Amino acid sequence: MLKKTFLLAIVVLLSLGAVSAQDAPNPWRQFEGTTIVVSWPSLYHFQVAQTLIPEFEELTGITVEVDSVQYESMHDKQVLEMSKPGGGDYDVVSWVIFWKTEYVNKGFLRPMAEFFTNPDLVMPDYDAADLIPAYLESGSVVGGRRAYLPGVTAALYGVPFSGETSVLVYRKDIFDEYDLKVPETYDELLETAEWITANVPNMYGITSRGAAGHQIVHAWLLHLSPYGGSVLDDNWNPVVNSEAGVAAAEALKRILDTSPPGVTSYGIGEASNSFLQGEAAMFLDNDRIINQTRDPNQSRIDGKIGVALHPTAVTCGAETGGFAIGIPTNARNPEAAFMFIQWMTSKETDRKLAKLGGQPGRMSTLLDPEMQAMYPEYPVIAKQLECANVDWRPLIAEWGALNAPILGVQLSEFVTGQKTAQEALDEAARLIREELTRSGYYNWMNLPGMSQ
């Protein structure tokens, strides 16, 4: 009888355990019936991500509405919504990385620690350490050194989503035909570009952005970092007119001189298109172009390219750009928004996005043998990211006033022959200091004992 009672008790306990496991709450379903609104740009990575949203909705029961706009128009619309004291329309926002400091300074973004410390919300296998460090630091970390870099006072306000870096993409068929060495240094890059322009029929050595304003500044910054330069020093002094700044400008001029005609009106679209249409043998800019070369609707060079590291001058260096994604302070459904963000940036979804042509956001995706077999450029990108420069441009709220209106004008006057590189950058440094003085950057430096 005792034995029967004992066995019956075991059966009851087992059955209770089974019921308990079956009836346990599913953390993915805790916000079922909620609707969240996402603000992100109408770029390819995000268009691909949008095709995966039904999978998230089925998993969670959360409805996702997307406001997809041109990224140039996104900032003002986001600021308007995030400024509303009673709650804005957006639960999730994606920002260009140089907006991050402004958004945090104005109190627009919620710290991510608020969510990552909640065990009921966090996926046990999310593995935040696997997020690409350079993209995390450039797009999502705020409050450390120079306010926008990592440091002991920094905090996380988002996660990277559609990051980018710069690599050298070149016409492998032309390099093979003429027995050319793939450039590893800037001297080699410039000499090779000039040789191709002079010796290969119907071909220019390289293509570049060159239009006045933001585009030419971006082109110059791509070279400034490898030459060891920066826009500002740690005391906010403009150092664009340093030896490195001048060398980068002169390198840019030589690049433009070996680019297709009309390059001084080229933005990223025109520069990309000239390479995709077979007019130039090299492209040194963001790595997004690699997927474009595979698209027969855009490219005449599918299967003809190679990918190499960004050449070095005095150091290795590459851009860190793109977007991050986070939660507005006035979001109406912040927890559901977090569920969406972590699912979209999880290991599994990151691989899905990459397989569909999106930008990888995790090291595990870049280093996965299956992914490397599919995308042979991944090992190069992973290597490049080891020395990607998160400070290749200052991510401060005033950058818009320094970028196109000052540097964009002065660099254009240099490449069109109106000024020397030194004259143009000396004037840029003077105007940058005036702008930062108006913003109060040097007020502390006027106190006794403080130095610039």
213 and 278, same domain (yes or no): yes
C-alpha distances out from residue 271 to 264, 331, 410, Å? 10, 39, 21
Structure tokens at 376: 């042979």
> Lowest-pLDDT range, 11-25, 59-73, 212-226, 245-259?
11-25
pLDDT of 4 reads 45
pLDDT at residue 433 greater than cutoff 60: yes
Q: Report pLDDT digits (tens) over 308-357.
A: 999 999 999 999 999 999 999 999 999 999 999 999 999 999 999 999 99
Strands 305-308 and 159-171, how do they pair? antiparallel
What is the pLDDT confidence band of residue 12, given thresholds at 50, 70 and 90? very low
Per-residue model confidence as pLDDT tens digits over 275-289: 999 999 999 999 999
Q: For residue 118, what is the DSSP state?
A: -
Q: Are residues 297 and 329 in the same domain?
A: no
pLDDT of res. 252: 98
The answer to whether 125 and 350 have CB atoms below 8 angstroms apart is no
Per the domain annotation, does 12 fall within a domain? Answer: no
Number of domains in the chain: 2
Residues 291 and 433 in one domain: yes
Mean pLDDT throughout 360-389? 97
State residue 14's pLDDT score: 36
Structural domain ending residue among the three candidates 387, 410, 429:
387
Cα 47 from Cα 39, distance rounded (Å): 12
Q: What is the mean pLDDT of residues 2-13?
A: 40
Residue reference for tokens 């990224």: 71
pLDDT value of residue 18:
45
168-184 residue pLDDT tens: 999 999 999 999 999 99
Q: Is there a domain that residue 207 lies in? A: yes
pLDDT at 22: 58
The answer on 51 and 36 residing in a single domain is yes
Q: Which amino acid is at 215?
A: Q
Please indicate, yes or no, whether residues 255 and 375 belong to a single structural domain of this protein.
no
Q: Is 361 within 8 Å of 135 (Cβ atoms)?
A: yes
What is the pLDDT, as a whole number, of residue 452?
55
> In this structure, which amino acid lies at residue 383?
K
Same domain, 132 and 46: yes
Kindly tell me if the per-residue pLDDT of 367 is higher than 80.
yes
Shared-domain flag, residues 137 and 228: no
Q: Report whether pLDDT(20) > 80.
A: no
Answer whether residue 264 is part of any domain: yes
State which of 352, 369, 387 marks the end of a domain: 387
Q: Is residue 17 part of a domain?
A: no
Shared domain for 253 and 355, answered yes or no, is no
- The answer to whether residue 3 scores a pLDDT higher than 80 is no
Could you tell me if 219 and 73 lie in one domain? no
The CATH number assigned to the domain holding 114 equals 3.40.190.10
Residue 20 resides in a domain: no
Is a pLDDT exceeding 90 seen at residue 404? yes
Q: What is the pLDDT of residues 54-86, one digit of tens each?
A: 999 999 999 999 999 998 899 999 999 999 999
Q: What is the pLDDT of residues 207-242, one digit of tens each?
A: 999 999 999 999 999 999 999 999 999 999 999 999
Looking at residues 408-433, what average pLDDT do you find? 98
Written as six digits, the tokens of 381 are: 């990108």
76 & 148 share domain: yes
Decide if 14 is inside a domain.
no
371, 387, 403: which is the final residue of a domain? 387
Structural domain harbouring 290: 165-319+394-440
For residue 451, being part of any structural domain is answered with: no
User: What is the reported pLDDT for 447?
Assistant: 76
What percent of the chain is helix, strand and coil (3-state, nearest 5)? 50, 15, 35
Residue 102 domain-assigned (yes or no): yes
Average pLDDT, the chain: 94
364 and 304 in a single domain? The answer is no
Structure tokens at 361: 């956001």
Average pLDDT score over residue span 137-145:
96
Residue 1: the pLDDT is 46
Same domain for 271 and 410: yes
- Output the pTM of the full model: 0.91
Looking at residue 131, the DSSP 8-state letter turns out to be B
